[in-house]
């Protein structure tokens, strides 16, 4: 372990001294998860801004691309992936279509629905960002060995399985 302290170490000592009746370990875990997430999202937002995207647009492109060619899906499938309401998804898709990132066409099998497809411009934007995002993720984990990374991933997965009611 490192001899360095983070701001939560200092706060933890104060809490531990003043609240001997409480186990502050959960606060330390959630505090660090929150701080790590804040740092990651700030760096990702800066990258996305450089490419004229926001996080929801990146998620939407990812939802379309992750399934492989032809990189298309119905809006309800994308909104489930992004955890957005149908109205929110419609707004995102409209904005993305205006930017040239996606196109929409009527579903031949269901007149009430549309199919959303990634355009070449959307594919190019996603590729430019996703590689750099992966580099950011790796830089944030510099100094953490592969085995420790796997342990952290396993522990966080277990926490998520314990608390996530979506699956």
Mind giving me the DSSP string for 24-64? -HHHHHHHHHHHHHHHHHHHHHHHHHHTT--HHHHHHHHHH
Quick one: pLDDT at residue 12?
A: 87
Q: Report the side by side order of strands in the sheet with 102-107.
A: 72-73, 110-118, 102-107
pLDDT along the chain (167 residues), means of 10: 79 87 90 95 97 95 94 91 84 96 93 94 97 96 95 95 78
Q: Long-range contact list for 95-101, CB < 8 A, 24+ apart?
A: 95/57, 96/57, 96/60, 96/61, 96/122, 99/52, 99/57, 101/57, 101/61, 101/125
This prediction has a pTM of 0.81
Residue 69: beta bridge partners?
Answer: none
The dotted CATH code for 24-136 is: 1.10.10.10
């Amino acid at each position: 372990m490192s001899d360095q302290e983070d701001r939560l170490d200092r706060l933890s000592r104060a809490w531990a001294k003043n609240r001997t009746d409480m186990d502050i370990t959960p606060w330390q875990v959630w505090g660090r998860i929150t701080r790590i997430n804040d740092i990651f999202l700030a760096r990702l937002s800066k990258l996305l801004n450089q490419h004229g995207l926001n996080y929801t647009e990146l998620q939407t492109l990812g939802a379309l691309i992750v399934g492989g060619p032809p990189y298309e899906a119905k809006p309800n499938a994308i909104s489930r992936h992004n955890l957005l309401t149908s109205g929110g998804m419609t707004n995102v898709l409209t904005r993305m279509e205006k930017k040239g990132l996606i196109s929409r066409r009527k579903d031949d099998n269901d007149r009430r629905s549309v199919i959303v497809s990634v355009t070449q411009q959307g594919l190019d934007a996603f590729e430019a960002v996703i590689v750099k995002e992966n580099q950011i993720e790796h830089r944030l984990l510099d100094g953490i060995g592969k085995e420790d990374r796997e342990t952290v991933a396993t522990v966080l997965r277990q926490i998520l399985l314990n608390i996530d009611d979506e699956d």
